[in-house]
Structure 1
Amino acid sequence: MRACLLLLGILVLPTATGLAAGPPAADNVRVYRCVASNGAVALQSTPCDDNHRQQVLDMQRPQDPPPRPPPAPAAPAPAPIEREVRIVTVQPPQPLYECISPDGERYTSEDGVGNPRWVPLWVGGYAPRTRIGGSISGSATVGSGSLSIQGGRPGHGHPHPHPGGAAVATGTWVRDTCHPLPQQEVCARLRDRRWELVRRYNSALQSERQALTREQRGIEARMDRDCGGH
C-alpha cells in the first residue's frame, strides 16, 4: 500500500507543476529548464519529460525597437546673398612739369609743353643790323619759316636795300625743355600757389577776385584728389 502511494505521487507531480505554471503572458516567452539525474541542464521550449526536474522560466519576448520617427524635412537652402559690387576707379595724380627757358627762367606747365621761341638759322654770313642813333637797320618779316631783313632808314614807306647790309635767314620754332616734378614737389608748389592767391585776394580788384577765387577752388580740388587734402 505504501509503495502504491509513492508511485502515485511521482506521476502526479509533473502534472501538478504544469498546471500551476499556467499559460505565459502574451508578451512573454516560456522556457523550460530541465535538469537530469546526472546534473545535466537543458533549456527548451517544451515541458521536460518525467526523468528531468523541471523549472519554468517566463521571459519577456524580444521586441523590435519602436520605429524611428520620420526624418524632419530638410530646411530650405538659404537664399544666396546678393553682394553689391562696386567698381572704384582711382585717377592717377595729375602731373606738373617744370620748364626752363634759355635765360634760366623756371616756370611750370600742366601739359609738359614748354613755351615756343623762334630760333633763326642765318645764311650768307650777315647778322641783322641794330638800331643806332636815329636810324634803323631794317624790318623783319617772318613767314613760311624764313626771316627777311633789309636795311633802310626810318620815315620811308618801304626800306631800301643797303649795299652789303642785307641778310636772309631761315629758322624754326623750338620749345623750352620740361621735366615732370615728383608728386611731393607738386603738392608743395600747389600749397605755395594757394597761399599766394590768398595774399593777392585782399589787395585785388573786384573783377580780379572772381578769377582768383576760381583758380583757388581748382587748386583745392586738385589737392583733395592728389595730395590728401593737405
Structure 2
Amino acid sequence: MTVARVALVTGGSRGIGRAVVERLADAGYSVVINYLNSGEAATDLIKYLPANVRALPVQADVSDHGSVVAMREKVAREFGRLDLLVNNAGQTLAGDWCTLEPTAWERVLQVNLTGVFNCIQIFAPLLSDSDQGRIVNISSVYAGIGTGFVAGYAAAKAAVPSLTRVFAKELAPRVLVNAVAPGDIDTEMTMAAGPEFISSTVEKTPIGRLGKPAEIAAVVAFLASRDAAFITGQTIVVDGGRTLGD
C-alpha cells in the first residue's frame, strides 16, 4: 500500500498558499493547511480538493514557538510523518519608515522571519525521517528591491534566502531546502495596494502582467519533486522579469 506524502503549507488558506495546497493535493499529497485567522477559508478550501485527499486545517501562529510545537503534535498524531514543509505564511506592512511603530516592525519580522525559523527547527526531525524531505521557503523580490515603504517586510524576506542556505547545509543530505521569490502576484494582498501600485508594477514587469498564484505553486511543486533531487540552497525568482532592471 502506497502511503501519501504529507505536506504542510503555512498560510495555506489564501493567496499563494491556497494555490500551493491545491497543486499539492492534485499531485496526491495529504495536506496540512495552516492558518492564523482564516479558519473559514481553510475549511472552505477543503471542499475544492480531490475527494480522496486527506486534509487537516490547523490554526497556529508561526511566530510563536509553542504554537508551532502544538501544530507539530497534531501533524504527528494525524499523519505520523511529514515530507514537505512550505513556509509561506507572511504579513506585509506598508507605510512610511519614518513613522513605523516598533511593535509593527517587530511583528513583521516575527511572522516573516522568525516564523520560518520556528517551523524549520520544530519540523526538521519529522522531515529527516522522510525519504524525500523537502523545505520550500517563500521569499520575495522585494528582498532585493529597495523601498522604504515596505522596510520591515523587505528586510525579513531578504533574510529568508540566507536561512535557506544555512539549513540546506545543516539538513543535507536528508532534507533539501530551497526558496522561491515571487514578484507581484494577483492576490488579495497585492490588490490591497490599490490600482496605482498595480499599474506601476505591471509597467515595470517585462511580461506585462501580475503573476498568478498557480505559477508560484508550480515551482514549489517542482522543488518538492524527485526531478529536483540535486537542487538545494537555491532561491528561484519567479517575477516575470520584474527585477531585470533597465
Calculate the TM-score normalised by the size of structure 2: 0.20
Please identify the structure whose Cα radius of gyration is greater: 1
By relative contact order (CA 8 Å, sep 6+), the higher-ranking structure is 2
Return the TM-score normalized by structure 1. Answer: 0.21
Larger helix proportion of the pair: 2
